[in-house]
Amino acid sequence: MGRTAQYEHTIAAPLEFTGVGLHSGAPVTMRLLPAPAGSGIVFRRTDLDNFEIPALGRNVAKVSYATSLMRQGVLISTTEHLLSALIGMGVDNVIVEIDNLELPILDGSALPYVEAFERSGIRTQRRRREVIRVLKPVEVREGGKFIAVYPGSGYNICYAIDFPAPIGRQDFCVDLASETYGTTIAPARTFGYRADEQKLRDMGLIRGAGPENAIILDAKGPVNGPLRFTDEYVRHKVLDLIGDLALAGRRIEGRVVAERAGHAMHTALVSRLLKDRSSWELVHAAAPESREEDREAPSLAGHVNAPALMGL
């Protein structure tokens, strides 16, 4: 986005995607529509009288194998890949129309969304973008698992995973301010072990999974290779994390560190961050050429009343 990074954006034209849900296996059609500045990301169930669910932490429902949203008993499931693509590509406002409970898995990554955004264009809006500037550390720990956010410029994410063979330990870092999301993160696909397949299906999960939309692993490696990156697994975890952190309602200005975390811990971090009003402030995003100057001499004119954070 370059010099327009301090302003909000929406997609330039409607987009449509069709496919099946990863876990439900149900067919679904989804349309993305341009939305007015300041409206955020809102899901709309067209099969349920256009019932709307804003993509906000207060609406988080189940987060075991995917991140789902629920409001007044209405569910939207497996939101993380689309939310990741929107945040990663700098789209602030969009209406997501969906005619079933789960988003389409497509190829298991966020790349189809990125390619669609690039074809249709992303439109700059007149409203200044607000970001959550982290002021002090916020951490979530669970045994040997860990996720935290710390003060820092940009939007930096470092993730480490440690899975059974053949994945092992991998780590990856990215700064979303570098605008490399489309090439370094978006193509990374979801993955799973063939040995776990029947157990997950017995739980009512991965009914739509297959070699066309997931990396399937046996003891030797991917059975449907090649990989898009040698470290595709950890890059996909970064992709998921970006999508889950989108539920904060704004981009984050800070440094996120995760060690063997997952959807539940990602969303727990969002909840803990937003509940601690002393740990963040809302500020207007700075233009790239003035970011350092703004941080050294902050102006009260650039601040937004913190309680006005969307979803609180």
Q: What count of other Cβ atoms lies within 10 Å of the Cβ of residue 178?
A: 11
Supply the CATH classification number for the domain 130-308: 3.30.1700.10
For 165-182, what is the mean pLDDT?
Answer: 94
pLDDT at 289: 52
Percentage of the chain surpassing pLDDT 70? 90
Residue 306, phi then psi, degrees to nearest 5? -55, -40
Residue 198, phi then psi, degrees to nearest 5? -65, -40
pLDDT at residue 302 is higher than 70:
no
222-262 pLDDT per residue, tens: 999 899 999 999 999 999 999 999 999 999 999 999 999 99
pLDDT at 19: 98
Ranking 70-74, 195-199, 277-281, 292-296 by mean pLDDT, the lowest is: 292-296
58-117 pLDDT per residue, tens: 999 976 789 999 999 999 999 999 999 999 999 999 999 999 999 999 999 999 999 999
Backbone angle region of 211, left / alpha / beta, with phi > 0 → left and psi within -120 to 50 → alpha: alpha
pLDDT at residue 1 is higher than 70:
no
pLDDT at residue 293 is higher than 50:
no
Q: What is the spatial distance between Cα 77 and Cα 60, in angstroms, rounded to a whole number?
A: 10
Mean pLDDT of the chain: 91
Whether 263 sits among the annotated catalytic residues: the reply is yes
26-67 pLDDT per residue, tens: 999 999 999 999 999 999 999 999 999 999 999 999 767 899
Let me know if domain 2-128 sits in CATH 3.30.230.20.
Answer: yes
Residue 304 pLDDT level (bands cut at 50, 70, 90): very low
Q: Quickly list H helices, 186-302.
A: 197-202, 232-245, 263-275, 291-296
Question: Within a 13 Å sphere around the CA of 62, how many CA atoms are in the beta-carbon half?
Answer: 13
pLDDT at 286: 83
Domains of the chain, residue spans: 2-128, 130-308
Angle formed at CA 150 by CA 148 and CA 152, multiple of 5 degrees: 145
pLDDT at 309: 34
Are the beta carbons of 139 and 147 closer than 8 angstroms?
yes
Q: List C-alpha distances in Å: 288 to 124, 188, 241.
A: 15, 27, 24
Question: Within a 13 Å sphere around the CA of 286, how many CA atoms are in the beta-carbon half?
Answer: 17
Candidate list 263, 266, 284, 303, residue with the active-site label: 263
pLDDT at 240: 97
Are the beta carbons of 65 and 209 closer than 8 angstroms?
no
Instruction: Specify the pTM.
Output: 0.90
Which helix (H) or strand (E) segment holds residue 123: the answer is strand 122-128
Angle in degrees, 0-180, between the axes of helices 232-245 and 80-88, rounded to the nearest 10 = 80
Residue 163 pLDDT level (bands cut at 50, 70, 90): very high
pLDDT at 10: 98
Chain centroid offset of residue 53 CA: 16
The per-residue b/e assignment along 8-34, b for 16 or more CB within 10 angstroms, e otherwise, is bbbbeeebebebbbbbbbbebebbbbb
